[in-house]
Structure 1
Amino acid sequence: MRAARLHGPRDLRVETVPDPVPGPDEVLLRPLYTGLCGSDLHVWHGGAGAADGAPMVLGHEFSAEVVSVGPAAGDVRPGTLVTVEPMWTCGGCAPCRRGDYHLCRAMQWHGLSARTGALADRTVVRASMVHVLPEGVDARQGALVEPIAVAHHAVARANLTPGGSALVIGAGPIGVACALDLLARGVRRIVVSEPSPVRRVAAARAFAAVGAPDVLVLDPGADDVPDAVRALTAGEGTDAVLDAAGVQAAFTLALAAVRPGGRVVTVAVYLEPVSFHPLTTFLGEVDLVASCGYRDDFPAVLDLVRDGRFPLTDLVRTVPLEAVGDAFAELEAGTALKVLVQL
């Protein structure tokens, strides 16, 4: 089979490798569409490989067709279209035992570790990791369920109620999905901050598609975002801020825009430390909350996707596996919003 294997920094090669074989409780999948995200880009930059130094097959956001199943894989049937919750968990650590499997202390992410990912003609996962695509959700949409689930979990962590207000920092796929999820929950007073004009236009198009053209999409380089937030909220600041950018400027903006007693949720993967004065949060009793991955979010997200609440496929560019190296270069340059590799 073909597989895109990372041998070192920016050294991604499409090669022929043996097909994987499913274990008793596992399923063999034929990936259909595999998304590339910021985590993949970070790994591509660094050339991180499996623990034994072997080349890594990336790909953790994907839809697939079930090819075959192990004898203990339950009622998953060959030919079924699925999306995958790409977390290999131990089931025995304290977080797993209390149901917080997304915080597993022995976590291995499919396609971001030694577990061979979905930039390949075949891949293997546990049967418990697959979610059947409902009628009305196609394979392209199925490949977007994983990043939408990240946003869905983050918005839940923001603890907002209908009628609330929010600032979303960063209009990449996660940030746009956060804003769309807020809209689906009845939050209408939303400001989105994004420096890229390409992303601002794409975000505005997505909001218009769900009947919310009044979402305020601002350029933090030209607009006074905290001032706009105060104008929208009678001087208070937003009830919550979702940080999907992951840089010092975003963290500083979040603290400047949230209201006293509000909540800042970091959903971005920060690669560098940030600095802030604790009095910034102390004087307003601001909650700083992290959001990591997802926990039991896929079923709800599939329902929302089926109902048309996440019109993201028009913002996606599709490339063949042979062009995956060029796709990573486009993501690095910021010229692509979202890329799906069609297997």
Structure 2
Amino acid sequence: MRGVVFPGQSGVEIREFPDPIPGPGEVVVRVRASGMCGSDLHVYRSAAAAEPAKLLIQGHEPCGEVAAVGPGVPAQVASVGDRVMIHHYWGCTTCQECRSGWPQLCSTAEPRVPTLNEHGAHADYMKIPAIQTIPLPESLSFSTGAALGCGTGTAWGALARLGDVAGKTVAIIGQGPVGLSATMFAASLGARTIAVDIAGNRLEQAQKLGADAVINSAGTDLADAIRDLTAGRGPELVIETSGITAAAAQALEIVATWGKVCFVGIGADVTFNTRDTLRRQITLLTSWTLSTVDLMRCADYVDRNKLPVDDLFSHRWTLDQAEEAYRWFNKQSDGKGVFEA
């Protein structure tokens, strides 16, 4: 089978790998959609790999059809032909975190993660534990299923951490795929949604997905603009998705007294002085992806409410176009890409 690897220094290669064979408790999925995630670029841009022969297949936003089932997998868990999303982490299966649907937080073993220590999904096939497959509703596309398994699901997870959003004002800083997904979900859940970014095309997309107001923070004082939109109070809820330290500081600055800030973007340094924040009674949260249970809930919600997750994808590629696709994606100038088969 074909698989996409990153040899380093923004290089892409398509290599041949043996077709995977499922062992006990495993399945092989024919990959029908594999999303491109911003975190891919950390590996893509890295220095040359020390051991090229051990390069792993990239891609951790998979969705597809079960192609083969290993020994000991009950039919109600997975059968050949099932349309499945994939929760792309697996752990020991027995600790409290694994049993609660959070294998990425496994407390007794290093979690297995495609692209980090397992082969990923930019390939024709992918082998995974059967328990990590999640049924994909018939009305949802494979590309939607891929998005729900990572970026869009991450937005769902952040809103779940914040709690009830209906009737509240939610400011979402950063309108990349995760931020746009958060805007879409928050609007559909009954929040007044303010989308913030420095790119006009992303703000236009945010409006299409339900944002009540947009702010281009490149040429506007964000705190002033937020105060104008909220009668001086600020939003009750803020989600920061960019992972930029300056944006994290803005999130703390704009949130209302008694408000909550959820940090999703990776890499920001979040600092505050208690003298400055003591009388504001704010709550700070972090959120990372979502559980297997919440992935099922998220897919059901998207299905019932006919949310346009597919609209997040601006570019669609085949595996043979991987080099071109990542040259485009590396610019981070617009939407989200997906490999389809």
Q: Give TM-score, length-normalised by structure 1.
A: 0.90
Question: Is contact 1:63–1:84 with CA below 8 Å preserved after alignment?
Answer: yes
Please state if 1:184 is matched with 2:181. no
Letter matched to residue 6 of structure 1: F
Question: Is contact 1:330–1:336 with CA below 8 Å preserved after alignment?
Answer: no
Partner of 2:219, secondary structure, is coil
Deviation at 1:165, TM superposition (A): 1.1
**Partner residue in 2 for 1:57:** 57
Tell me the distance in 2 between the aligned counterparts of 1:304 and 1:50: 44
Tell me the distance in 1 between the aligned counterparts of 2:116 and 2:48: 9
Deviation at 1:292, TM superposition (A): 1.0
Partner of 1:29, secondary structure, is strand
Please state if 1:144 is matched with 2:133. no
Question: Is contact 2:197–2:217 with CA below 8 Å preserved after alignment?
Answer: yes
Question: Is contact 1:88–1:107 with CA below 8 Å preserved after alignment?
Answer: no
Please state if 1:200 is matched with 2:203. yes
**Partner residue in 1 for 2:279:** 283
Structure 1 residues 41 and 309, CA gap change in structure 2 (3 angstroms): farther
Question: Is contact 1:74–1:127 with CA below 8 Å preserved after alignment?
Answer: no
Segments of structure 2 that go 5 or more residues without pairing to the other structure are none
- Percent identity over the alignment? 30
Tell me the distance in 2 between the aligned counterparts of 1:280 and 1:329: 44
Aligned residues: 335
Letter matched to residue 172 of structure 1: G
Question: Is contact 1:167–1:191 with CA below 8 Å preserved after alignment?
Answer: yes
**Partner residue in 2 for 1:263:** 260
1:296-335 to 2 correspondence within 5 Å?
296-316=293-313, 317-335=315-333
Tell me the distance in 1 between the aligned counterparts of 2:225 and 2:197: 14
Partner of 2:137, secondary structure, is coil
Segments of structure 1 that go 5 or more residues without pairing to the other structure are 208-213
1:227-242 to 2 correspondence within 5 Å?
227-242=224-239
Q: Deviations over 1:162-198 (max 9, x none)?
A: 11111100001100111111122221x2111110122
Which of 162, 166, 176 is residue 162 of structure 1 equivalent to? 166
Deviation at 1:51, TM superposition (A): 10
Question: Is contact 2:31–2:123 with CA below 8 Å preserved after alignment?
Answer: yes
Tell me the distance in 1 between the aligned counterparts of 2:17 and 2:87: 24
Tell me the distance in 2 between the aligned counterparts of 1:199 and 1:109: 33
Which of 288, 294, 318 is residue 290 of structure 2 equivalent to? 294
Structure 1 residues 98 and 336, CA gap change in structure 2 (3 angstroms): closer
Partner of 1:7, secondary structure, is strand
